[in-house]
Structure 1
Amino acid sequence: MFQTLSYHCTMLYRSFSAYTSRRLQQLGLSYGALFPLIYIGKHPQCTQAELTHALGLDWGYGQRSILKLVEDGFLLREKRGRSYHLSLSEQGLRAFQVSHQVFFDWDAEALSGLTPEEQVQLMALLEKVYHIPLSGAISCTKP
C-alpha cells in the first residue's frame, strides 16, 4: 500500500468525485458543474470573466460550461454593456443547495470513523499541509 500524501489525496478526490457525481446526476448535472454553481450562488451577478478567473478555468472551457448551464436552465445570463452577468435560476438555486450540501454530507460519511477530536485534529493538520494560498478558493462554510 502507498503511504504518500499524494496517494491519499488522490483516493479522497476520487471518492468525493464519485459521490458528488452520483448526487448531481440526479439533477441532470455533471461534476464539472459543481464549482461554477457554487461560485455563482455565492457571487450573484458575477461576470463570466470573474467566474473564469476565480476558478482558474480555461476561457473556452468556462464559456462552454456556462452556456451549457444556461441551456439546461440552471443559469441566467444577462448582457450588460460589454459583459455578461450570471445568476441562478430557480432550478439553479436548487442545484446550488444540493451542490453546497454535498460537501457536508460526504464529510459526514468519510469522517464517520473518527471521533470529533480526531476530526478537528485532521482538519488542522491538513490546513498546515496545504499552506499554499489558492486564488479564488471557494469557502465551504455553512450558509
Structure 2
Amino acid sequence: MLISTLSYYTTELYKEFAAYTTEKLHELGLNFGQMYFIIYVGKHPECTPSELTSALKLDWGHSQRSVAKLAENGFLIKEKKSGRSYRLTLTSLGKQAFDVCHQVLFDWDATKLTGLTNEEQQLLLNLLCKISIQKV
C-alpha cells in the first residue's frame, strides 16, 4: 500500500532528521531540541527568554529548563539587564555549536536532495515554503 499524504512524509522526514542531527550533535553535548535554541540565539543575540520562547512556539517551562541547561553547560550566557529580566547570548562554545548546527542543516539537505535537479530542489523548497505556517 502506497501512503501518499503530506503528514506521512513530514513525519518520516522529521524522524530521519532528528536521528541524523542527534548523531552529529552528540559530540558537542547537544541534542536535537537544543539545536533550535542555539540557532535562535545565534541569529538574535541578546534576545530575551520570552522572545525565544514565543518565536520557537514552546512551553514556557520547557524553554526555561532548556535555557538553564544550555547556560549550565557553557553554551549560553544569561546576562541580567534590570530587575528580573535578562538577555541571552552565545559563549564561544555556543558560537562553535551555532556553526556546527548550521552545517548539520546544510549537510542533511545535501544528502536528502541529491537525487533532485537544482530546479526540482528549488521547486520543492518553494512549495514547502508556500504551505508552511511560518513564512520565510
TM range (shorter): over 0.9
**TM superposition shift of 1:129:** 2.8
How far apart, in 2, do the equivalents of 1:12 and 1:61 lie? 24
Query: How well do the aligned residues superpose, as a CA RMSD in angstroms?
Result: 1.4
What is the aligned residue count?
134
**TM-score after normalising by structure 1:** 0.88
Q: Which residue of 2 aligns with 1:9?
A: 10
Q: 1:58 is aligned with what amino acid? A: D
Detail structure 1 runs of 4+ shifted over 4 Å in the superposition. Answer: none
Partner of 1:29: 30
Match of 1:123 in 2: 125
Q: Counterpart amino acid of 1:112?
A: T
Q: CA deviation at 1:113?
A: 0.9
- One-letter amino acid of the structure 1 residue matched with residue 85 of structure 2: S
| Residue 99 (structure 1) aligned to one of 93, 98, 101 | 101
Aligned residue number for residue 108 of structure 1: 110
Structure-2 residue corresponding to 1:58? 59
Residues of 1 paired with 2:17 and 2:9: CA distance? 12
Deviation at 1:89, TM superposition (A): 0.5
1:72 corresponds to: 73
Q: By how many angstroms is 1:28 displaced? A: 0.6
Local SS of the residue matching 1:85: strand
Task: Quote the offset at 1:24 in angstroms.
Answer: 0.8
Gaps of at least 5 residues in structure 2 are none
Alpha-carbon separation, structure 2, partners of 1:2 and 1:98: 34
Whole-Å Cα distance in 1 between the matches of residues 47 and 129 of structure 2? 28
Matched to 1:43, the amino acid is H
> Unpaired runs of 5+ in structure 1?
none
Separation in 1 of the partners of 2:90 and 2:42? Answer: 7
